[in-house]
């Protein structure tokens, strides 16, 4: 199954997904006149002001943290290691490219999620690609297909990937049986999930930033200790990216390997265009839809350009990346090995705990995304409870399965939701341009941007009463 799905994924990502992702990002960059550059300073500044109360909903910062809980996590550790094993250091270059144009994509999908969101029965907001496909594109069949694929992706594929990495890392470092780790993951997941989406937001608001800061701190220490290696690291990245050093990936085309694995793992890491983070963006209560779009775009930069690069440096400069001995199955623990080799074996437990919470918070974020799409398909309390049980079960199942299998399944699931989402974003780009223009006009007048549907020059009527 792994071999067959892997060959299908290689074809889909080579001839469809890469061009769709980068092409959409470039198109939106042009349509928004390079918003990721023009508004970069505003992204960081607004994030610091977004912790204020959400008037009964979820704050902008909580929605950002929920989105970062799946962005910053296993993809930054195992995903980067897997990309470098299969594609060499050059895969990082293509991750940067995906992130740069992906910032415009992330901005666009989050802004659309805000304008087409709807109110849930508990008073909070829900929304995402399924909502803007149905209400924006006026296509319920496509919306149902997207939501169904997202439910599978978030309740089955995503928890398997996260649980698998947690189990592999802790088992390799401490000799604990993977099934025992799976039981712990499933038990803790069940405790949190049955508290609802606000409980998820509260948990990820604390877990995600703390773990990210801890990991960045560790990476900075290793960078300082190996500062003389920084020029060589970037030289290797650029040389490997264009296939100038075949030794990095053994036989075959180094350029193709770096290109494919960098873009594929970059997508999983920063999620720009995948259609997952808009589900978190829609839950926020903001004064203007563009505000949440800017915050989510900043998340892509933080995830890929900062954290993924730090991981790549740690792996590359500590000697852990021995291409003559490693295999893709080593990806789960190679980053941990690199850190302990530099800072000492005493770091094994702190890193294991960090990876546990990275994966755990990603599982919680996956639930929030999946639930938003499940609610879209059918508002049923029993069905919601069953879906939580399914996610808990696959959190255990993933811990005892092969790493390459769970990542292959995730790639397949990602393809379906991403392609549908990109089609919707391009079709709805006039809404994005109109909303950004309204935001910029108010900002230019020195006003705090507040969205008023009757004063914005929108390309159509907003189908909900939220705004």
Residue 359 has pLDDT above 60, yes or no: yes
Mean pLDDT of 347-357: 83
- Give the Cα separation of 254 and 384 in Å (integer): 46
Which residues contact residue 76 at a Cβ distance below 8 angstroms, ignoring those fewer than 6 apart?
A: 215, 269, 303, 307, 308, 311, 358
**Which residues, 6 or more positions from 314, have their beta carbon under 8 angstroms from its beta carbon?**
219, 222, 223, 335, 338, 339, 342
Compute φ and ψ for 125, nearest 5 degrees. Answer: -100, 155
Confidence (pTM): 0.82
pLDDT at 250: 47
pLDDT per position as a tens digit, 115-164: 998 887 767 787 889 999 999 999 999 999 999 998 988 898 888 888 88
| Residue 291 scores a pLDDT above 70 | yes
Question: Residue written as tokens 């470092």?
Answer: 173
What mean pLDDT comes out for the span 279-284? 82
Decide if 381 contacts 174 (C-beta within 8 A): no
User: Average pLDDT of 293-298?
Assistant: 89
Mean pLDDT computed over 419-423: 92
Strand 125-126 and strand 118-119: the pairing is antiparallel
End-to-end CA gap in the chain: 47
Minimum mean pLDDT among 254-263, 278-287, 310-319, 327-336: which range?
Answer: 254-263
Q: How confident is the model at residue 111 (pLDDT cuts 50, 70, 90)?
A: very high
Q: For 306-334, what is each residue's pLDDT tens digit?
A: 888 888 888 888 776 776 677 776 776 78
Query: Residue 235: phi, psi to the nearest 5?
Result: -65, -40
CATH of domain 1-444: 1.20.1740.10
Q: What is the pLDDT of residues 436-447, one digit of tens each?
A: 999 999 999 888
Q: Is 4 exposed, middle or buried (0-12, 13-18, 19+ CB in 10 A)?
A: exposed
Cα-flanking dihedrals φ and ψ of residue 460, to 5°? -170, 180
Task: Report pLDDT for 236.
Answer: 84
H or E stretch at 125 = strand 125-126
Instruction: Count Cβ atoms below 10 Å from residue 459 Cβ, excluding itself.
Output: 13
Closest CA to 152 of 2, 310, 369: 369
Pick from 1, 283, 278: which is nearest to 146 by CA? 278
């Amino acid at each position: 199954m792994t071999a067959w799905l892997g060959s299908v994924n290689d074809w889909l990502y080579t001839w469809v997904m890469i061009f769709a992702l980068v092409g959409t990002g470039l198109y939106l960059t042009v349509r928004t006149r390079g918003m990721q550059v023009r508004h970069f300073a505003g992204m960081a500044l607004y994030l610091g002001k977004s912790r204020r109360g959400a008037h009964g909903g979820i704050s902008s910062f909580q929605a950002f943290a929920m989105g970062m809980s799946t962005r910053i996590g296993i993809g930054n550790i195992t995903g980067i290691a897997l990309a470098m094993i299969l594609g060499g250091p050059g895969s990082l270059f293509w991750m940067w490219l995906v992130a740069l144009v992906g910032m415009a994509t992330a901005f666009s999908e989050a802004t659309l999620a805000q304008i087409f969101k709807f109110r849930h029965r508990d008073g909070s907001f829900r929304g995402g690609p399924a909502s803007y496909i149905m209400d924006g594109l006026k296509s319920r069949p496509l919306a149902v297909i997207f939501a169904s694929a997202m439910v599978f992706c978030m309740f089955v594929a995503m928890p398997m990937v996260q649980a698998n990495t947690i189990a592999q890392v802790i088992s390799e470092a401490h000799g604990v049986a993977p099934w025992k780790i799976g039981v712990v993951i499933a038990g803790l997941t069940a405790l949190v999930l049955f508290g609802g989406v606000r409980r998820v937001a509260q948990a990820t608001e604390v877990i995600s930033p703390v773990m990210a800061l801890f990991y960045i701190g560790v990476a900075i220490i290793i960078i300082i200790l190996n500062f003389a290696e920084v020029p060589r690291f970037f030289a290797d990245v650029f040389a490997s990216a264009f296939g100038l050093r075949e030794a990095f990936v053994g036989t075959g085309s180094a350029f193709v390997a770096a290109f494919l694995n960098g873009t594929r793992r970059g997508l999983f890491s920063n999620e720009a265009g995948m259609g997952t983070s808009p589900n978190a963006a829609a839950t926020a209560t903001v004064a203007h839809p563009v505000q949440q779009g800017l915050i989510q775009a900043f998340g892509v930069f933080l995830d890929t350009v900062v954290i993924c690069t730090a991981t790549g440096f740690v792996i590359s400069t500590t000697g852990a990346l021995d291409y003559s001995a490693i295999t893709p199955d080593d990806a789960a623990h190679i980053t941990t090995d690199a850190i302990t080799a530099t800072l000492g074996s005493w770091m094994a437990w702190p890193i294991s705990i960090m990876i546990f919470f990275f994966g755990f918070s990603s599982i919680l974020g996956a639930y929030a995304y999946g639930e938003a799409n499940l609610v879209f398909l059918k508002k049923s309390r029993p069905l919601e409870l069953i879906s939580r049980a399914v996610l808990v079960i696959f959190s255990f199942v993933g811990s005892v399965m092969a790493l390459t299998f769970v990542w292959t399944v995730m790639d397949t699931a990602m393809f379906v939701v991403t392609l549908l989402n990109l089609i919707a974003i391009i079709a709805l780009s006039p809404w994005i341009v109109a909303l950004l223009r309204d935001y910029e006009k108010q900002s230019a007048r020195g006003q705090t941007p507040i969205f008023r549907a009757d004063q914005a020059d929108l390309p159509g009527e907003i189908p909900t009463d939220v705004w």
